[in-house]
């Protein structure tokens, strides 16, 4: 399971229980300024090919967790149930994208989008 929260202009992603083992990570902090978008996309998690796994875990139809390399991009997965998947697009981060299973995808998307709007209003124009 994954717990996603927004605090102090940062998206905090906490892997819980065995997810820490499968994903080979326990926590990610992403500044809101580095998030370019978030959306629900169960089909992304259902695709049979996620890229080259390194390091991570992939049990087809059961679990996909860890780092996957896709066409020069680094994508972090932690998904068992694709129906509860959110995709977080990133810039200037170790990962280009996060594919995460969460309890309530609609609530996570709404919360992050709301915080992204607030964050953009705080930033000075470029």
Which residues form the domain of 25? 2-122
| pLDDT tens column, 108-119 | 999 999 999 988
Number of domains in the chain: 1
How are beta strands 2-7 and 97-101 bridged, if at all? unpaired
| pLDDT tens column, 64-107 | 888 888 788 899 989 989 999 999 999 999 999 999 999 999 99
Q: Torsion angle, CA of 3/7/9/11, rounded to 10 degrees?
A: -10
**Is 21's pLDDT higher than 70?**
no
Q: What is the mean pLDDT of residues 33-50?
A: 83
The shares of helix, strand and coil residues in the chain, as percent rounded to the nearest 5, are 25, 45, 30
How far is 72 from 70, CA to CA, in rounded Å? 6
Among the ranges given (15-19, 37-41, 56-60, 119-123), the one the predictor scored with the smallest mean pLDDT: 56-60
């Amino acid at each position: 399971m994954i717990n996603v929260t927004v605090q102090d202009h940062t998206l905090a992603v906490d892997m819980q229980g065995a997810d820490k083992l499968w994903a080979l990570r326990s926590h990610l902090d992403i500044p809101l300024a580095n998030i370019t978008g978030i959306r629900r996309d169960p089909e992304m998690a259902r695709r049979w090919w996620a890229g080259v796994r390194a390091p991570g875990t992939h049990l087809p139809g059961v679990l996909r967790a860890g780092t996957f390399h896709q066409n020069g991009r680094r994508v972090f997965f932690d998904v068992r149930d694709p129906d509860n998947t959110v995709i977080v697009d990133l810039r200037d981060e170790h990962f280009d994208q996060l594919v995460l299973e969460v309890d309530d995808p609609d609530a996570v998307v709404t919360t992050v989008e709301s915080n992204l709007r607030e964050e953009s209003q705080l930033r000075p124009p470029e």
